Structure 1
Amino acid sequence: MTQGINQSRRNLFSRRKTHVIRPPWSKPEHSFTDNCTRCDKCIDACETKIIKRGAGGFPEIDFSQDECTFCKQCVEVCPEPVFDTSTEGPWPLVANINDTCLTAKGVWCQSCKDACEPRAISFIMAVGQVPKPQIDLAACTACGACVSPCPSDAITLISTE
């Protein structure tokens, strides 16, 4: 019993959540959480309002309503050393479509393709089946535009690292 309580306390104060997406150009998790003062300036500056206050008060990305435009407002307004714009891209993420996609159930749906501005999502035709989605990982910017329009919550962004 005490082992369970100690584990719960440890989790309560932990800042390490592997499934959290930090704002674009964020430094690695340890560096980010060690330096972020949780001032909410990045949250207030976000033009699409996808940066939310997450666990422990640290900023997290929530693609449930909108996408990232990579405007860099969060980077510019932050007074702390939590961002690194010298990296190759804004973050090491790509879109991933899981088995709950409606096309796996034979339903014709292409809402993700319609929302994808760089056209990284295409649909492959097959005889006797509805077209199946395919992601061009080289073209995917991980902006998250495909996440919210998906009626079955089948799209997530996953790390490429």
Structure 2
Amino acid sequence: MTWTAPSITRTPEISVGDERAMLESWLDYHRQTLLLKCAGLTAEQLRTASVEPSGLTLLGLVRHLAEVEAWWFRENFAGQDVDYPYYTPEHPDADHDVSQADAEADFATFHREVELARAAAAGRSLDETFTEIGPKKRTFNLRWVFVHMIEEYARHNGHADLIRERIDGVTGE
């Protein structure tokens, strides 16, 4: 039996709420939008590159955003040790290398990283600050992480829209 990305019912973003509720709602909306763009596609279709010479794929985006969730919420903000599923110092862009990827396992990884990101931010103030890992050592707050992640998903969901249209003509949403 061929695995296909499961269908998803996207929860509409809230239009009235406090700042935290709005940020969480919009981030979840964009997380679900990425999954909606993948719904119903086989593993092979999810590994299909958009247009040469680009190697961008829907599965690569799922893998990439799983690692971005871990990087910002868990490693940077919460200070957790993260065992990245794809990244290695020798192959930093391994999240986009889907030639041997297991789509079903990668979707499970994405869902797990989203839940771990939610847990890392739960009960923490949007004003709580942290210093970024890496050479720049910039200071951010949790609010910035939410805004940045909404931007990251929105940008990549635009890519996902084009890739999906290229695969089977599905557009919109």
More helix by share: 2
Q: Same fold (TM over 0.5)?
A: no
TM-score, scaled to structure 2: 0.27
More strand by share: 1
* Structure possessing the higher relative contact order (Cα contacts under 8 Å, 6 or more residues apart): 2
Task: Output the TM-score relative to the length of structure 1.
Answer: 0.29
